[in-house]
Structure 1
Amino acid sequence: MFFTYLRRELRRRRKAALVVASGLALGIALVIIVTSVSSGMSKAQDKVLESLYGLGTDMTVTKAAAAQGAGGTQRPRFEFDAKEDEDATQSTDRVMVQGFQTLASSTVGKVGEQAGVADAVGGLSLTVMKVDGQFKRGEFKQDESAGQGGPGGGQGGGGQPQGEVQGGGASFDVNSFTVYGTDVTQQDLGPLTSSQITKGRTFKATETDAEVAVVDSAYAKEKELAVGRTVTVSGTEYTVVGVSTADSGDAAANVYIPLKQAQTVADSKDKVTTVYVKAAGSQQIDTVKAAIQKNIPGTTVTTSADLADTVSGSLSTASDLAAGVGKWLSAAVLVAAFLVAGLLTSSAVSRRVREFGTLKALGWKSGRVTRQVIGEALVNGLMGGVLGIAAGLAGAYVVTAISPTLTAQLGSTGGGTGGGPMGGGGGRQTASRTLDIALTAPVSLSTVLGAVALAVAGGLIAGAFGGWRASRLRPADALRRVA
């Protein structure tokens, strides 16, 4: 009887049911779209951070920035020999630790001993500046018209030839690239994990001090490097065993070599610039950070959340809009849809006074009338849920298909980033980096289940409005309206 009456009433009031369902569908669709876009923003930011941070890395430990006036920044110095052959090309390079701040390698072990640390690995970030060129000697040209007739036969009164040096000078090219020394025995942590080996292979665990290298694909293309060829760092030739491609954005370094080799060429034995840390769980990140800062003085700990605060540009702006305005707007529309559905249901009950009064006169209890109204409202809510989910999925698909490009600009945290892979420099400020990220709008199962819950809630709220009104009707109200 319940379902028969329910089906008949919904069929008879199709337009009213469609209006209620459409209102709920609008609110639910907006919630799905905003939620999916926010999820896409979060994933985009994660890609930006991974390009610097390394997959699985929760935080980095670098040396704390030195106080003002506590030692000037080292400047690169280049020295050239005086050669008789003016056409000889001269070349020299300088390997510099990024940020000029290092930690003892023993710091890696100390960090790994802290409670809540699952893994820790050290790395050394370097910048190599290579200068190539040649000097050209100038030519002295005498001024024949000067000093004619004077003593010395064309020389000035001081006995020196009159004239000037013309031509000569120097022409040098400066080539700068970055090198990252990686611990080949622990390659599942650190910035190299944010790249994929696309040609050749990665390092072997036994190549701790081997003269081998992995180069970034963009740098390999620029310098025409390939697997089997060599790249020179401070006079040492490294055989390229693999080519890597960054998953997103720029690579952490142009060239990757074993950590011991990096320490050797940089004259930084048993030194690292960065310790990459993986916490045992995401809930322990703040606790681990506090423990490291307390137990290992003279260090700066930077988490992914700290780095995320430095992300600006259209990605940050859009993320703030989605998280703020978008969520508030969707919540407001959803509340309005619920209220409209409830008011429409209550209004429909008012127009059915004669019907419900007659049913009560025939023996229907108030609870049965209320259940009937709630049942109709619940079906309207489920219909709105289906329409809303369909519209929300369509909207998310359109966003993903268009894939608008957002720009993420990464600035300095002021103490943890030093020009290199997420803090590779140890306390120096670094220049901003700009990355382009394609936005997607993934819809998760939890979002769909949430939409279903909203549809049911909308139906129940609307039914509660109408049911309360219907429960207050008396049979006498129906008799008054009988002509």
Structure 2
Amino acid sequence: MFGIYLKRELSRRKKAALVVALGLALGIALVITVSSVSAGMQKAQDKVLESLYGLGTDMTVTKARSAPSDNASGGPRFEFDAQADEDEEQSSDRVMTQGGEALSASLIEKVGQQSGVANAVGALTLNVTKVDGSFTQGQAQSDSGQSDSGQSQGGPGGGGSTGQPQVQGGGASFDVNSYSVAGVDVGDQGLGPLAGSTITSGETFTTAQSNAKVAVLSKSYAKENAYKVGETFKISGTKYTIIGIATPESSESTTDVYLPLKQAQTLGDAKNKVTTIYVKATDSQQIDAVKSAIQKNISGTTVTTSADLADTVSGSLSTASDLATSVGKWLSIAVLAAAFLVAALLTSSAVSRRVREFGTLKALGWPSRRVTRQVVGESMVNGLIGGGLGIALGLAAAYTVTAISPKLTAQLGSSGGGGGMGGGPGGGGTGQQSAAQNTMEIALSAPVSVTTIALAVGLAVAGGLIAGAMGGWRASRMRPADALRSVS
């Protein structure tokens, strides 16, 4: 009886049912779209953070660089051979630690012993500035146009004149290139600067190469400088063999050259030193507690979590993420609340027009709870229909966003992990190119999770219940006499 009556009433009031269902559908579709876009923003941001952190890293431990003393010289110093032959190519490398003050390697073990830490690995980040070029010797000439090797003779009685010699021509032409080097713990490469990359050519380091003169290059750096596996290049006069090319799994690499940690320490004159300690927590829910423990037990260090690092990401990705999490959230709530209210009002209005119907049913013996159940049942069906339409519209919107894949940019701020700088031997750039390399383009997607679908179904049921509760409450208050009074 309930099903038959329900079907007949819904068929008789198709337009009203459709209006209620569409109102709920729009609200649910907006919630699905905003939720999926927000998930896409989070996914894009995670890709950016992985490029800085390395896959699987929960936090980094660094130490802020102290201010130089009054007598310290902060600028790089380059020395060239003044006795070199004219036009002879000269080259000099300046290697400096990057990303903060160097930490003692013994702190790695101390960090690893903290409660909640699953693993800790040290790395040394260096910046290499390469200057190469040549000097050209000038020629000294007098006012008379003769070179300094000529002589001017005066006439009888003297009076000959010689002009003050002047140097003509000459000068120097030098190129300045910068690139980043990361020292990797070859015994534990699952955490650290190389963890977020895949070796696409050649091979990675082996444990036997802890102090070998070998290197792995990032794909972009190798392509820029036309390096291939098996070739060699020099840093500060030391020749390194390229054994592999690393391709980042999520975005552009911020490191150009990877070396065994001991080799990097030798280059940077930082024996038993690291600039960054990468930390993996035993439980992602305890990251804040681990951060507090490290800061409390190891003084003078700076602990940066993924949440802290996210604040350094700017650009259109950050702007769009803010819009999706703030404006989008409140817009969804407003539209959904309006849809629920409209559904409740329309259901209540429909009950008011069915006074004779419900009054007659009560006169025939229907109890109030049965009338209420009938109204709630009709509203639930409307809610489920609206939920189905809303899920379809939301999935279509999410698919459209993923298909279009709008490009978002992300500028990377400074971090404990260090950032790569463009350039290198034979090519590259300086500060301006470094900023360009630290700007990433991320394709936005809108993944829809099972949780989002479950939320949509829950909202549809809730919308039906709210509308049905209001309409059912009004229907339950009707009396058989109301039906008689409505008869004209």
* TM-score range for the pair, normalised by the shorter chain length: over 0.9
| Residues in 1 aligned to 2:158 and 2:64: alpha-carbon distance in whole angstroms | 69
Partner of 2:456: 451
Q: Is it true that 1:65 corresponds to 2:65 in the alignment? A: yes
Instruction: Tell me what 2:87 maps to.
Output: 87
Q: 1:436 is matched by which residue type in structure 2? A: E
Deviations 1:71-114 (A, max 9, x none): 75632111112225213222221211114620111111111011
Secondary structure, aligned partner of 1:330: helix
In structure 2, give the amino acid aligned to 1:480.
R
Q: What is the CA–CA distance in structure 1 between the aligned matches of 2:362 and 2:265, rounded to whole Å?
A: 90
Correspondence for 2:17: 17
Task: Please report how far the alpha carbon of residue 418 of structure 1 lies from its aligned counterpart in structure 2 after TM superposition.
Answer: 5.0
1:263-320 per-residue CA deviation (whole Å, 9 max, x = no partner) reads 1122211011100111111221111111111111121111111111122221111111
Alpha-carbon RMSD across the aligned residues, in angstroms, is: 2.1
- Kindly provide the CA deviation profile for residues 399-418 of structure 1, in whole angstroms up to 9, marking residues without a partner as x: 111111112122246xx465
1:315-354, aligned counterparts within 5 Å? 315-354=317-356
In the other structure, the counterpart of 1:118 is 118
Q: Distance in 1 between matches of 2:321 and 2:350?
A: 42
Partner of 1:173: 175
Distance 1:389-1:70 versus aligned 2 partners, 3 A rule: farther
Compute the TM-score of the two structures, normalised by the length of structure 1.
0.93
Q: Return the alpha-carbon distance in structure 2 between the equivalents of residues 103 and 71 of structure 1.
A: 23
Instruction: Point out where structure 2 has 5 or more consecutive residues left out of the alignment.
Output: 147-151, 422-433
Find the residue that maps to 1:407 and give its secondary structure: strand
Q: Distance in 2 between matches of 1:152 and 1:459?
A: 120
Q: Distance in 2 between matches of 1:208 and 1:36?
A: 45
2:204 to 202, 214, 225: 202
How many Å separate the matches in 2 of 1:448 and 1:145? 90
Deviations 1:385-412 (A, max 9, x none): 0000000000111111111111212224
Q: Is 1:411–1:431's contact at 8 Å kept on the other side of the alignment? A: no
The residue number in structure 1 matching 2:425 is: none
- Where structure 1 has 5 or more consecutive residues not aligned to the other structure, the ranges are 422-429
Alpha-carbon distance in 2 for matches of 1:71, 1:364:
97
Q: Secondary structure at the match of 1:443?
A: coil
Counterparts of 1:99 and 1:203, CA distance in 2: 23
Q: Distance in 1 between matches of 2:310 and 2:444?
A: 17
Which stretch has the larger CA shift, 168-177 or 185-194? Answer: 168-177
CA distance in 2, matches of 1:125, 1:143: 55
Structure 2: how far apart are the matches of 1:121 and 1:255? 18
1:215/1:255 contact within 8 Å kept: yes
- Quote how far apart the aligned CAs of 1:35 are: 0.5
Provide the C-alpha distance between the structure 2 equivalents of 1:214 and 1:145, rounded to a whole number of angstroms. Answer: 57
Q: Distance in 1 between matches of 2:443 and 2:400?
A: 13
In structure 2, the partner of 1:107 is 107
Deviations 1:4-46 (A, max 9, x none): 1111111111111100000000100000001111111111111
* 1: CA distance, partners of 2:417 / 2:113: 24
Contact 1:155 1:162 (8 Å CA) reproduced: no
**Residues 71 and 387 of structure 1, relative CA distance in 2, 3 Å threshold:** farther
Rounded Cα–Cα distance in structure 2 between residues aligned with 1:60 and 1:377: 54
Please state how far the C-alpha of 1:60 moved relative to its aligned partner: 0.8
Counterpart code for 1:461: I
1:248 to 247, 250, 253: 250
Q: CA separation in 2, counterparts of 1:9 and 1:481?
A: 20
C-alpha distance in 2 between matches for 1:134 and 1:377: 85
1:262 and 2:264 equivalent? yes
Where does 1:140-159 land on structure 2 (aligned, <5 Å)?
140-144=140-144, 154-156=160-162
Q: Does the 8 A contact of 1:412 with 1:431 survive in 2?
A: no
Structure 1 residues 22-421: aligned runs within 5 Å: 22-67=22-67, 72=72, 74-83=74-83, 85-99=85-99, 101-144=101-144, 154-156=160-162, 162-412=164-414, 416=416, 419=419
Contact 1:138 1:166 in 2 (8 A): yes
Q: Give me the whole-angstrom Cα distance separating, in 1, the residues matched to 2:279 and 2:166.
A: 64
| 1:321 shift after superposition | 1.0
**Residue 5 (structure 1) aligns with:** 5
Aligned to 1:427: none
State yes or no: 1:438 paired with 2:443: yes
Q: How many percent identity over aligned positions?
A: 68
TM score, norm. by length of structure 2? 0.92
Could you tell me how far 1:152 is from its partner in structure 2?
6.8
Is the 1:125–1:420 contact (alpha carbons within 8 Å) kept by the matching residues of 2? no
Rounded to whole Å, the distance in 2 between the matches of 1:418 and 1:246 is 16
Q: Does residue 481 in structure 1 map to residue 483 in structure 2?
A: no
1: distance between equivalents of 2:145 and 2:226?
55
Find the counterpart in structure 2 of residue 464 from structure 1: 469
Q: State the Cα distance separating 1:149 from its structure 2 match.
A: 5.0
CA drift of 1:378 comes to 0.2
- CA contact 2:256–2:420 (8 Å) conserved in 1: no
Letter of the 1:466 partner, please give it. G
Query: Quick one: which amino acid aligns to residue 251 of structure 1?
Result: S
State how many pairs are aligned.
469
Helix, strand or coil for the counterpart of 2:194?
helix
Query: In structure 2, what residue type is equivalent to 1:233?
Result: I
**Contact preservation (8 Å) 1:40, 1:441:** yes
Structure-2 change in CA distance of 1:240 and 1:418 (3 Å): closer
Change in 2 beyond 3 A, CA 1:260/1:470:
same
Residue of structure 1 equivalent to 2:427: none
